[in-house]
């Protein structure tokens, strides 16, 4: 069985969408990968033929053990490449996802081992996400919550950010919101925005949809000066 770049991308997208708590159906993949519905239909047929996915009667798409192995291997490489780009080459955190999307398919097993030796296992990527791709339920079990749910006047540290939206990442960077940054909920506003105080005491506005893509860990500090 030949594993093409296209197959790898579909399998990884399924795993990533699952980690965001989404029910994966054909429309999910079309949106996630920005491809047409007919293209998704053909891809699903090929992946089923190769026993890499199974499709339930309600249309849900699930990875088989073989499909998950491929997705996990690719996600691990993506994670290592992102870390390499920031930790070794100093690339900005909001740029590395797109670079890793291109490089992950070209990395050999030997180079992957070298990266693991150089960087070490277990650390989060520059967006705060781990190799295991915690689900929303698992994140909540850690005591994390979406920034949108942070109570008024409570402070928290940003632990992870949804990494597949480059414009969002650049916008957040401009606001001073990034993994390990401290934020405090100041107010929930009528226009569906949040008023936040960030590390340096700067007060910023953020839409709730964007805030839902940021996971934070509440801390005991009550005030950010």
What is the domain-level CATH number for residue 177? 2.30.30.90
pLDDT the model gives residue 132 = 66
User: Is 30 found in the same domain as 108?
Assistant: yes
User: Is 117 found in the same domain as 160?
Assistant: no
pLDDT band at 65 (very low <50, low <70, confident <90, very high): very high
**Separation CA 94–CA 2 (nearest Å):** 33
Element (H, E) at 80: helix 65-83
Region 136-156: mean pLDDT is 92
Phi, psi of 32 (to 5 degrees): -65, -40
User: Is 93 found in the same domain as 61?
Assistant: yes
pLDDT band at 123 (very low <50, low <70, confident <90, very high): confident
pLDDT the model gives residue 224 = 53
Decide: pTM greater than 0.75. yes
pLDDT the model gives residue 1 = 64
Decide if 50 contacts 70 (C-beta within 8 A). no
Task: Provide, rounded to the nearest whole percent, the portion of the chain with pLDDT above 90.
Answer: 76
Per the structure, the complete domain to which residue 114 belongs is given by: 1-127
Task: Choose the final residue of a domain: 127, 158, 188.
Answer: 127
User: Is 23 found in the same domain as 3?
Assistant: yes
Task: Write down the mean pLDDT value for the chain.
Answer: 91
Torsion angle, alpha carbons of 160, 163, 165, 166, to 10:
100
**Separation CA 82–CA 135 (nearest Å):** 20
Phi, psi of 26 (to 5 degrees): -60, -40
User: Is 108 found in the same domain as 23?
Assistant: yes
Question: Residue 225 domain-assigned?
Answer: no
User: Is 3 found in the same domain as 111?
Assistant: yes
User: Is 87 found in the same domain as 54?
Assistant: yes
């Amino acid at each position: 069985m030949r594993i093409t770049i296209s197959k790898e991308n579909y399998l990884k997208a399924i795993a990533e969408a699952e980690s965001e708590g989404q029910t994966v159906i054909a429309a999910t993949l079309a949106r996630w990968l920005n491809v047409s519905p007919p293209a998704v239909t053909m891809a699903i047929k090929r992946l089923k033929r190769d026993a890499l996915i199974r499709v339930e009667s309600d249309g849900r798409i699930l990875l088989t053990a073989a499909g998950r192995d491929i997705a996990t291997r690719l996600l691990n490489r993506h994670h290592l490449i992102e870390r390499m780009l920031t930790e070794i080459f100093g690339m900005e955190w909001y740029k590395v996802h797109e670079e890793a999307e291109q490089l992950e398919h070209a990395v050999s097993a030997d180079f992957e081992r070298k990266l693991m030796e150089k960087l070490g296992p277990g650390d989060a990527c520059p967006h705060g996400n781990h190799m295991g791709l915690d689900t929303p339920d698992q994140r909540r079990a850690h005591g994390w919550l979406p920034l949108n749910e942070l109570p008024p006047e409570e402070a928290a540290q940003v632990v992870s950010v949804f990494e597949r939206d480059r414009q969002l990442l650049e916008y957040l960077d401009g606001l001073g919101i990034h993994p390990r940054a401290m934020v405090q909920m100041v107010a929930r506003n009528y226009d569906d925005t949040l008023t936040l105080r960030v590390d340096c005491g700067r007060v910023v506005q953020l839409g709730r949809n964007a805030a839902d893509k940021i996971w934070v860990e509440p801390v005991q500090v009550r005030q950010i000066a």
